[in-house]
Amino acid sequence: MADIDREAVILIAHEGRLFSLLPACRRWLAELDVKQHAGEGRFSKVQYQGQTVLLARAEQASMHGHLDAAAIRRLGEVYDAAVQLAIAQNRPICLTDLFDYDPRTADQCVEAMLAPIRRCYREGRQPAIHIRVTSSRLRETIITALKVLLSTQPAERPAVEVIDCLTEADRQLPGLMMISRDSADPLNRAVARRHAQQAGPARAGAAAASRVVPRKLLGSQARTHLYYLAQPCPLKNGLPDGARIADEYTTLFHEARQHQCMLVTLEVLSETPGHEGSSVAALSAAIMAARAIIPALKVRVVTRNKKIKNNVQKAIL
């Protein structure tokens, strides 16, 4: 879980006897165990190296049995309490499996995990959610459930959305997603660095010429789920390099048209304090130019900069 946002609240089972945890994760749990715990009703809260970790009881089935209705109800209560705590603190939440995989009850357990997320969507909120599980079979069950959850949301998105950060559900959406090695999102930053390493120094020119790659982890959906690897945009003479940034946005939307992507998610490539106006201008111009060609195009902007967030929609709508 090293890629998890440092601000995220992490919900994890206190004991890992029946879970396939890596040795490093077991050591981490052992370190948490000796820290001071604060009771929160459904779990214990531990502050550790700047992170908030919620240690919860794992629901374990008896030998040759499976989780009963009461155990699944308790799971739902724990997940709901953890999500509500994170929302109250305006922080991301990382949910992990508090149950072993059992094909007889997997769907019910996953529903208990995702119910708070579904309720947030229904209420018009989109909290940042990470999901980490230890079982590949459980992971597939969760991905399937997420697809159903997303498909039941209103199909009509606004022309332009501004979000704080990406969630696991966001990463399952088809479309083109811009990331850069300077990304504020740890997972996206890791993806960009892997791409750069695979390109190698000898292929730097080729990497720059072909910056769209499939999200391979999505298997058969890779052709509709794409990454655009943006070049880092450092300061030029102490100011954001407007021409370089505008070129990245222009190329991104060109690639979106080439790949017939109707949903584009992009990061703001410059959030230099005091120069948000130039960032909004470059971004707004690129979005309006793209939507003039494809009016049905939907754009999502990822930024935590309040000035950019408040002004980008005003400039476009």
pLDDT at 174 exceeding the cut of 80:
yes
Which pTM value belongs to this model? 0.53
pLDDT at 258 exceeding the cut of 50:
yes
Average pLDDT of the chain to the nearest whole number? 80
pLDDT per position as a tens digit, 60-91: 877 667 788 899 999 999 999 999 998 888 78
| Amino acid 317: pLDDT | 57
pLDDT at 203 exceeding the cut of 60:
no
- What percent of the chain shows pLDDT beyond 90? 16
Domain 9-154 has CATH 3.40.220.10: yes
pLDDT at 244 exceeding the cut of 90:
no
> What would you report as the CA-atom Rg of the chain, rounded to the nearest whole angstrom?
21
Residue ranges per structural domain of the chain: 9-154, 161-316
| Amino acid 209: pLDDT | 47
pLDDT at 238 exceeding the cut of 50:
yes
| Amino acid 77: pLDDT | 94
| Contact present, 311 and 268 (Cβ < 8 Å) | no
| Amino acid 155: pLDDT | 54
Cα dist. 252→113, 230, 278, 294, 316 in Å? 35, 8, 18, 14, 18
The class of domain 161-316 in CATH terms is alpha beta
Beta strand spans in the chain (E): 9-13, 37-39, 43-48, 51-56, 93-96, 129-132, 160-163, 175-180, 212-214, 225-230, 235-236, 239-240, 263-267, 298-302
Q: Which of 197, 181, 199, 178 is nearest to 189 (CA)?
A: 181
pLDDT per position as a tens digit, 99-135: 988 888 899 999 999 999 888 877 666 677 888 888 8
